[in-house]
């Protein structure tokens, strides 16, 4: 391989953003793209906006189609510069997806685990975030 391969991934547009939907590709496979160019439209639970490329090169592969909902940092496309074969792109995609799945699983498994207590017959879930300090209780979903 005498070229480079760069991923296009689902962006994180805010602290609460967990996933986004690729609603429309604005470039075709084979198009040359540059940093700052709008390459696709993304919709989240809070906003809809065009995503700009952070890399330069040729869009060689759209990994997902329009209407696909993906978690943040999931692979959406592949950009190359120089000579890169289809087999090299396939290997890059496979490796990226394997590493992404492993990282996502580790994040879920290593994160805080909720526990359930029952108070006056009502089950409550809580997450203990450490010892010490003043406890804070957030109650969600009551009226209003």
Q: Domain extents for the chain?
A: 4-110
pLDDT digits 0-9 by tens, 39-96: 999 999 999 999 999 999 999 999 999 999 999 889 999 999 999 999 999 999 999 9
pLDDT digits 0-9 by tens, 42-53: 999 999 999 999
What band does 119 get if pLDDT is binned at 50, 70 and 90?
A: confident
Mean of the pLDDT values across residues 113-131? 77
Q: What pTM was estimated for this model as a whole?
A: 0.70
Please determine, for residue 108, whether its predicted confidence score (pLDDT) is greater than 70. Answer: no
Segment holding 75, helix H or strand E: strand 75-81
Query: CA nearest 70: which of 40, 95, 106?
Result: 40
In the CATH hierarchy, which top-level class contains the domain 4-110? Answer: mainly beta
Query: What distance in Å separates the CA atoms of residue 43 and residue 128, rounded to the nearest whole number?
Result: 33
Sign (positive/negative) of CA torsion 121, 126, 130, 133? negative
pLDDT above 90: percentage of residues in the chain? 56
More confident residue, 111 or 97: 97
> Which pLDDT value is given to residue 134?
76
Please determine, for residue 144, whether its predicted confidence score (pLDDT) is greater than 60. Answer: no
Query: What distance in Å separates the CA atoms of residue 111 and residue 27, rounded to the nearest whole number?
Result: 37
> Which pLDDT value is given to residue 132?
73
């Amino acid at each position: 391989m005498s070229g480079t391969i760069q991923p296009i991934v689902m962006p994180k547009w805010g602290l609460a953003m967990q996933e986004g939907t690729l609603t429309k590709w604005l470039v075709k496979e084979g198009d040359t793209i540059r940093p700052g160019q709008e390459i696709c439209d993304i919709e989240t639970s809070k906003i809809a906006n065009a995503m700009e490329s952070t890399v330069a090169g040729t869009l060689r592969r759209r990994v997902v189609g329009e209407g696909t909902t993906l978690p943040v940092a999931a692979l959406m496309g592949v950009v190359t510069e120089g000579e890169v074969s289809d087999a090299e792109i396939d290997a890059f995609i496979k490796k990226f997806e394997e590493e992404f799945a492993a990282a996502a699983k580790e994040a879920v498994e290593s994160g805080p685990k909720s526990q359930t207590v029952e108070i006056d017959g009502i089950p409550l879930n809580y997450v203990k975030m450490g010892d010490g300090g003043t406890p804070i209780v957030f109650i969600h979903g009551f009226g209003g």
